[in-house]
Structure 1
């Protein structure tokens, strides 16, 4: 199945205006979120994992105690694609 192409910097900047928890540019999207406890952070990773599997697109996840650092990039596109924007929205629906 072909993957979506890399988005332009302008398209990514426009999308980020509708994703207030996220930052980044055409090279990647980033979000950090602090959860109430380590167990809550681990549970969030599991929820994100199931969402990622559902769309066959996977974030880089760094868990530091109760803080999640997430990075989205479509490596096959060489930067941010529509897959990353879709997954960012799905992740936002799962996190506080």
Structure 2
């Protein structure tokens, strides 16, 4: 998939397509809350496999039952179509 940097207008109109994600600077952000660490880690494993298939990797953290994900396309210097596609796939989990 060809990566294309999105304009601020494109980002604002596209963010409606990814429920619970917010815009934080030049990143898409979402926090996920699970019952425990095992559920959080299982989720991260599923996300990791999707990210690897896209060859696009998130900035993320895990604190016990909370996983926070930030998506941006570093080499383009902002949010790209790939970030939105990845956010949709993550939401599908």
Q: Give the alignment of 1:1-96 within 5 angstroms.
A: 4-24=3-23, 27-94=26-93
TM-score by length of structure 2 reads: 0.93
Runs of 4+ in 1 over 2 A off after TM superposition: none
Cα-to-partner distance string for 1:16-45 (whole Å, 9 max, x where unaligned): 111111000671100001011110000000
TM-score by length of structure 1 reads: 0.90
1:12–1:26 Cα contact (<8 Å) kept: no
The Cα of 1:6 is off from its aligned counterpart by 1.6
Q: Which structure 1 residue ranges, 5 or more long, are not aligned? A: none
The number of aligned residues is 93
Cα distance between partner residues in 1 of 2:47 and 2:14 = 20
RMSD: 1.5
Q: Which structure 2 residue ranges, 5 or more long, are not aligned? A: none
